[in-house]
Amino acid sequence: MSQRSTLQVAPRKRSGTGALKRLRREGLVPAIVYGKKFDNVNLKVNAKELRDLLARSNSENILVDLQIEGAGTQLALIQDVTHNALSGNIVHIDFHAIKEDEKIHARVPVRLTGESAGVKLGGLLEHQIHSLEISCLPKDLPEAITYDVSHLNTGDFVHIRELPFPEGVHAKLSGEVIVIHIAAPRVSAEPAAAEAAKGAKTATKAAAKAAPTKAAPTKQAPKK
């Protein structure tokens, strides 16, 4: 399951370009939290604590308990992180407020492990879908959907319905959609064509050697 972290935040009254620049110089990142049936709240968060939280996460979907100064705790999903294009510093972050008992939608990666038996014999692994949109309760949110391809042979397919989804997690796409295919080795036509041309050339040479040599015409002496 996705990690769940705690983050200290505080309401933010300052806005405007100049005010936000001063906030960042103080080591703080402007933020906002919003959601369904939730009033938007401008926040500020310690830049170092935020960087550390993001560095610890192995998932693109990060759940956080926002401990809002003077307003209690709010569960949220990190929705968007904006970085400075030159420095790479975080300049803004969006939190999406959610409820424990309401399903959320998220996109998670599909990760493959092992080496396919078909690939060992020269087949090609075609990973056709690298991420999936899913729905689930916050507590069931996975970091990824992982599938072991070791048993797959040439010609095998894996559909969405065959992936090992945790209990309570459902894909938005049809279960019949193909995620993985082990294709047969591709045989190049060029070596075969070259071999055929070589054979034809050899046969031509052999035929030329076997053909009788025509004698040169004999010149007759001129009559006197």
Structure tokens at 26: 């103080």
Q: Where are the domains of the chain?
A: 4-99, 105-183
- CATH topology agreement for domains 4-99 and 105-183: no
Task: Please check the confidence at residue 194 and state whether its pLDDT lies above 90.
Answer: no
Q: What is the amino acid identity at position 89?
A: N
Contacts of 40 (CB under 8 A, 6+ apart): 32, 33, 34
The structure tokens 């015409």 sit at 217
Look at residue 75 in the predicted model and tell me its pLDDT. Answer: 96
Residue tagged 């998932």 (tokens)? 59
Question: Quick check: 161 and 175 in contact, CB under 8 A?
Answer: yes
Give me the mean pLDDT over the 56-72 stretch: 91
Query: Taking the CB of residue 21, how many other CB atoms lie within 10 A of it?
Result: 12
Q: Report whether 130 contacts 179 (CB < 8 A).
A: no
The burial of 64, by beta-carbon neighbours within 10 Å (0-12 exposed, 13-18 middle, 19 or more buried), is given as: buried
Segment 91-119 shows an average pLDDT of 95
| Contact criterion met (CB below 8 Å) for 52 and 85 | no
CB 163 within 8 A of CB 130: no
Tokens of 130: 């690298």
SS3 169: coil
Domain 4-99 listed as CATH 2.40.240.10: yes
What percent of the chain stands above pLDDT 90?
72
pLDDT on residue 58: 81
Give the homologous superfamily in CATH for domain 105-183. Ribosomal protein L25, C-terminal domain (2.170.120.20)
